[in-house]
Amino acid sequence: MTTKKQPQEEEIELGSLFVLIGKGFSAILKAVQQLLSFFFHVLITILLFVKKQVVKLSIAVVIGGLVGGFLEMDKAQKFGADALVQPNFESVQQLYNNIGYYEDLIQQKDTFLLAKTFAISVEEAAAIKKFEITPVENSSDLLSSYDEFLNSVDSLSVKKYTFSMFKKSFTTTDYKQHTIHVEAEKNNVFQKLEGVIIAEVVANKHFEKAKQLTNENLHRTNASLQENLAQVDSLRKMYLQTMLAESKKVTTGTSIAFGGDKNTFKEIELFETSREINEELKEVSKALSQKTAVVNVLSSFQPIGYEMKGLKENLGVRGGAIGLGVMLLFLGLLQLNSYLDTYKK
């Protein structure tokens, strides 16, 4: 009797399971439906509110735009310029600190100290309106930095410190290239700033010492690799001459005996060694070209700055947006007050 009931019990359990799964799907679909209904209701409410208040909102935009437009007409023309730099020897933080200091002088309207810092006139210093520095973000810097990290630690540390953890700790100053942006009301002051910006970083003796030691090490490595390459080339020539001499030895008949199999193998090894040394020399040459200065200037400030234009810079557009925002806030507070009065009743 027990064996006959077992299939029926299994069918009942499976049936209950399917019922539970069906209820679960129904609950999920119902929740999704309610969520969509809520968003639809909110959207319709917003559209009805805008439709009802469209006249007031339009007036606010027009008034704000007109006020901003008048201010735009009186606003002094502004120019911008950008320089692309590559700081070396961990000098990037010093560069960021210096740019921040220049921006603080502008915010404090300390034109005399700004003029003294850059050896320019007070009038030119007063024309400078903004200093900013931002990284040139790209994934290759992140990947190359992570690769350097992997080569510098043991396998146990790598397992504990994953790529996602490394990515979170990667900051703006860890990128290799950075853009210095300056805005001014005069279009010809920018090139007078670049030399001072770089010189104030180079003035730090720590970075200059690091540059000197790094370059000395690179030059020693380059000389050593050049010597090794010359020795490898000499050995390759010797083995090649030996192989040619052995290939001329005639044994029986017209057959030629190649007794240089061992030499051939060594010549191939030397060829691979030569190739590896050449690759290392390329890396050293690249490092030497990049490490000759504390800060490499990849692109200088333009002699004449470009005019700052665009909707984002236009005070008329800003005024219209502010007018719209203020009116929306005002009408929203009125609506809330009306709702609270109704709620009390």
Instruction: Say whether pLDDT at 314 is over 60.
Output: yes
Picking from 82, 134, 126, the residue whose alpha carbon sits closest to that of residue 105 is: 126
Measured in degrees and rounded to the nearest 5, phi and psi for residue 126 equal -65, -25
Q: Any idea what DSSP says for residue 119? A: T
Instruction: Determine the 3-state secondary structure of 121 from DSSP.
Output: coil
Q: What is the pLDDT of residues 233-278, one digit of tens each?
A: 777 777 777 767 766 664 444 444 444 555 556 667 777 777 787 8
- On the 0-12 / 13-18 / 19+ scale of CB atoms within 10 A, 242 is middle
| Largest CA-CA distance found in the chain, in angstroms, rounded | 122
Q: What is the pLDDT of residues 2-46, one digit of tens each?
A: 455 566 555 566 667 677 777 777 888 888 888 888 888 888 888
Q: pTM above the 0.75 mark? A: no
Angstrom distances, CA of residue 22 to CA of 14, 16, 28, 34, 96: 12, 10, 10, 18, 60
Q: State how far the Cα of 206 lies from the Cα of 204, in Å rounded to an integer.
A: 6
Name the token pair of 315: 């005070």
